[in-house]
Amino acid sequence: MSTRWHGVPTRSERGTTRGALVAILAGALFLVGLTDASGAESPSPSASPSPSSTAQPTPAPVPTGEVKYYIVASEYEGEPEFLYEIAERMLGSGDRAMEIFLLNQGRRQPGGLIVSDPEVIKPGWVLELPADASGPEVRVGPLPTFAPLPGASAPAAPTAPGAAPEAASGEEGAFSSTWWVVAAAVGAALVATLVVVLALRSRRDRENAAPPAPRRPAALERSTARPPGSHRALRPGRRERPPAPTPLDSSVSWMVDRALRVLASACRAAGRTLPEVAMVVVGPEHLSLRLLSPDDMTPSGWAARDFGRTWASSLRHLQTAAVDDTLDDPLPQLVTVGGTAQGRVLVDLARARGVVAVDGDGAGQRHLLDIWMHELTTNPWSREVRVVRVAVAAPVPAGSKVVDIADVGGLDDVVDGAPAGMVVLARAPRGRDLERVTALAGGTVGPRWGVVVLGGLRDARWRFTCDGSGRVTTPLLDEPVVMAALPEARVERA
């Protein structure tokens, strides 16, 4: 089975995207052609003007004698002139701009244009002013008049600054209509292409070679559902055979160690920090990481699933990817819980950010603790972990790095100044002892340690419940886990 990495579209997906884009753009061009054809067949409003559209305003009578007037300048204080500003300067109020317009409405100006719009004036125009106008630019004398331009058959109406003559207004309308059609078609094409690309990316993520993700850690969601298969025990006269435990496989441990180093190396190469991994699931072809916080910014070789809550990579890639041996062990407190249909399940006890409780069947508690103690003292990624047992009766194997103390009060001498590690308590602490181990597990007093308590603890952050058939249930998963079989040579109990 080939693996397609997150963010890299296949050749077929790229071809589908290009085909969709070409088809949409062709449709847009077709719409533009229809618009141009319809515009050519229908007469332009300017080609057959109605009497009302060409009617000019009645010119204001030309005054006799001397009047006050103003010649529009090209600019005033760096800005084009307009009637409101002229009225403000020469009449004391911009609200009197309409008085100036009405005095000059319909009069011909230099260049043959007509005063017909109070919003449009041109430099060089001569505007008659009311009698009370004052100012250094106000002129007094006979009002200049202007004859039509030679060869002009009809007076031309003024247009907006920078606009073409009225004869071209029909062409401008057609061009404006075509332009809006083009803009709408191109916008629709871009939106449709984006939808196609997102659909392809979603399908690629669903078809990604990563296995189904385990449920979110208990720090993020709690599950109270009955474990699958538990209803069978209620059937009278039927006893369920205990599941066969899976032995701890050293080759799987080697793969986990290499996968963690590949992850740390890829994150460093990508210039990002290592995500907070709460759970690792090793399947037959893939390895999955369950994160405490969603993160879809995966480094090379990893694919994000479940909205960034799970990262996955193929075992083939993990066996050949580059590894930076100078990096520290990323998850030193990672231990095995057992096996499910998805594969071997491991949890990082330090990521609980609180006390971890192991309760239920007494023999099951001791067996799970034996597995964790074995791994914390033998796993390649736990080389620097210090294990401290509080009031645990089992003997310490010769040459082990396990330290035994009588009570929680002795933790200060062992933990202070030491790197992160694991603390195992034979019974639930209370009062100040509980506060001390909770602070230690939360990382509020130096490096974060994992803290495991045998027996019930009401305020436990994570909980693992053992039964007499070799199963472990936990809110971290939606199915029970079959505990692994510990090598006989490693089982040492009091």
Domains of the chain: 1-56+165-208 (no CATH), 60-156 (no CATH), 230-490 (3.40.50)
The CA distance from 472 to 356, in Å, is 14
Nearest to 129 by CA among 158, 157, 88: 88
Alpha carbon of residue 208 to chain centroid: 20
The tokens for 164 are 């073409």
Q: Is 424 helix (H, G, I), strand (E, B) or coil?
A: strand
What DSSP character marks residue 125? -
Contacts of 164 (CB under 8 A, 6+ apart): 172
Please report the pLDDT score of residue 72 as a whole number.
92
The CA distance from 264 to 324, in Å, is 8
Kindly report the pTM of this predicted structure.
Answer: 0.51
Tell which wins on pLDDT, 352 or 298: 298
Does the pLDDT value for residue 51 go beyond 50? no
The CA distance from 163 to 23, in Å, is 37
- Please report which confidence band the pLDDT of residue 16 belongs to, taking 50, 70 and 90 as the band edges: low
Please report the pLDDT score of residue 22 as a whole number.
59
Q: Which range is least confidently modeled, 15-19, 231-235, 279-283?
A: 231-235
Tell which wins on pLDDT, 91 or 177: 91
CA atoms within 13 A on the CB side of 390: 24
Alpha carbon of residue 407 to chain centroid: 48
Please report the pLDDT score of residue 33 as a whole number.
56
pLDDT digits (tens, 9 = 90+) for 136-172: 899 999 988 887 766 554 444 444 444 444 444 444 4
pLDDT digits (tens, 9 = 90+) for 234-253: 344 444 455 566 677 677 88
What size, in residues, is the chain? 494
- Please report which confidence band the pLDDT of residue 217 belongs to, taking 50, 70 and 90 as the band edges: very low
The CA distance from 295 to 302, in Å, is 12
Alpha carbon of residue 86 to chain centroid: 54
Please report the pLDDT score of residue 487 as a whole number.
67
Nearest to 210 by CA among 276, 309, 297: 309
Does the pLDDT value for residue 24 go beyond 50? yes
The CA distance from 438 to 443, in Å, is 9
The CA distance from 31 to 473, in Å, is 63
What DSSP character marks residue 214? P
The CA distance from 461 to 292, in Å, is 13
Please report the pLDDT score of residue 132 as a whole number.
92
Please report the pLDDT score of residue 345 as a whole number.
92
Pairing of strands 310-314, 402-405: unpaired
The tokens for 490 are 């490693």
The tokens for 208 are 């990604």
Q: Mean of the pLDDT values across residues 59-63?
A: 78
Please report the pLDDT score of residue 54 as a whole number.
46
Please report the pLDDT score of residue 31 as a whole number.
57
Q: Mean of the pLDDT values across residues 320-340?
A: 86
Per-position DSSP letters for 286-342, written without gaps between them? EEEEEESS------TT-EEETTTTEEEEEHHHHHHS---TTSPPS-TTEEEEEEETT
Nearest to 419 by CA among 461, 380, 392, 450: 450
Please report the pLDDT score of residue 56 as a whole number.
58
pLDDT digits (tens, 9 = 90+) for 393-452: 776 655 567 888 888 777 777 777 666 688 888 888 888 888 888 888 776 544 567 888
